[in-house]
Chains A and B, each alone.
Chain A
Amino acid sequence: MATTAVIDEKEKRNLWGGGAEPLRASYGKLMMWFFLLSDALSFSGLLITYGLSRFAHNAYTGKIADFVPSGNYWPVPEKVFTHIPFTHNPYPLVFVGIMTFILIMSSVTMVLAVEAGHRMDKEEVLKWMLWTIIGGAAFLGCQAWEWTIFIVGDKGRMIADGTTFFGANLHHNEYGPTLFADLFFFITGFHGTHVLSGVIINMIVFYNVAIGTYERVGHYEMVEKVGLYWHFVDLVWVFVFTFFYLV
């Protein structure tokens, strides 16, 4: 008995005594994980604020088909986000569905880049990184379009001072209470900033792969780290999609 205890103690000290990787992940990867954890808390703060604001306003109780925007109750998202480019017919949530699909696909190409990196296959890493960058840029383009539609507005709504207000800014919007548009800008904006920085970091890593930096270093761990960040951005969008657009 005594001997086993001594051996356990020794092994424990070896694992956490330095020179080993007790979590079997490198310093860089660990720090990326803990950064993402803190970023998850930031996004939670924003999305929970949305929940609080929504619960602090009256809910729309009528039939969805008869929905008319008003400052007195929270809007039904599928009645707000109905536009897709190049047509004026209403297609509720289709555009945001396409955006979700784009981001999921770019996440897939990112994992494929990481997989290629494990095999030291530079050409494949380059190919999949490029697709990831294209996917990210496409998502950003869609988001720019979405914001433009939201800001320009459609039918307009009479506001308190008796004038008809079109679209949205931080003070007024035609869709519902002020906070609805404010949170739209803050939440999708904060997420969009993450996508933008992700695309820029992806481009830098792509450049480094192309000039053979990681081949010289002997591993493609940087692709893995930027991959973690990119998947996290995708993960946040999954939550934004549900809690901003679906519920």
Chain B
Amino acid sequence: MGHGHHTTAHAPQVLPKDKEKIKKIWMTALILAVVTAIEFLLAFTMERGSLLTSIFVLLTFVKSFYIVGEFMHLKYEAKTLIWSIVIPTLFIVWLVVALLVEGNAILYFRNLWQWYAGLAK
């Protein structure tokens, strides 16, 4: 079908645009832009604290879901491939918890040391 339109011998058949697919790409872009705008707005309207931080973390994961799932197409890959990428990243969660606890401990001992140094003076 359509082979009669070939002008050069080697040019392969160019398929028509998939309107649905392109619409989906722009929708994903819109979602990413809107979520970023919301984050930006919250940074200046909400009180800083653990609630705002949690909202930021949540929205960051929403964005990564769209980037990895739609743009990188992982959502549509074989199940085994999805899990072989996602499961190893779970170890990162452990590292986050471990090192943040460690950071708190360092701060505690630093301040304790300064307090001692003050007493000695």
Contacts and interface: CB of A to CB of B under 8 A. Distances in A.
A231 B67 contact: yes
Nearest to B36: A100
Contacts of B68: 231, 235
B81 A30 contact: yes
Interface of A is mostly: helix
Contact of A242 (B56, B67, B104): B56
A247 B12 contact: no
A167 to B, nearest CB: 24
B67 A108 contact: no
A108 B29 contact: yes
Contacts of B100: 48, 51-52, 55
Contacts of B71: 107-108, 110-111, 231, 234
Given A25-B81, A52-B102, A234-B67, A115 B22 contact: yes
Nearest to A45: B95
Interface of A: 22-25, 30, 33, 37, 40-41, 44-45, 48-49, 51-58, 64, 76, 78, 92-93, 97, 100-101, 104-105, 107-108, 110-112, 115, 118-122, 215-216, 218, 227-228, 231-232, 234-235, 238-239, 241-243, 246-247
19 contacts: A22-B78, A23-B81, A24-B77, A25-B78, A44-B92, A78-B44, A104-B36, A105-B29, A107-B67, A119-B16, A120-B12, A120-B14, A120-B15, A122-B14, A231-B67, A238-B60, A238-B67, A243-B60, A247-B53
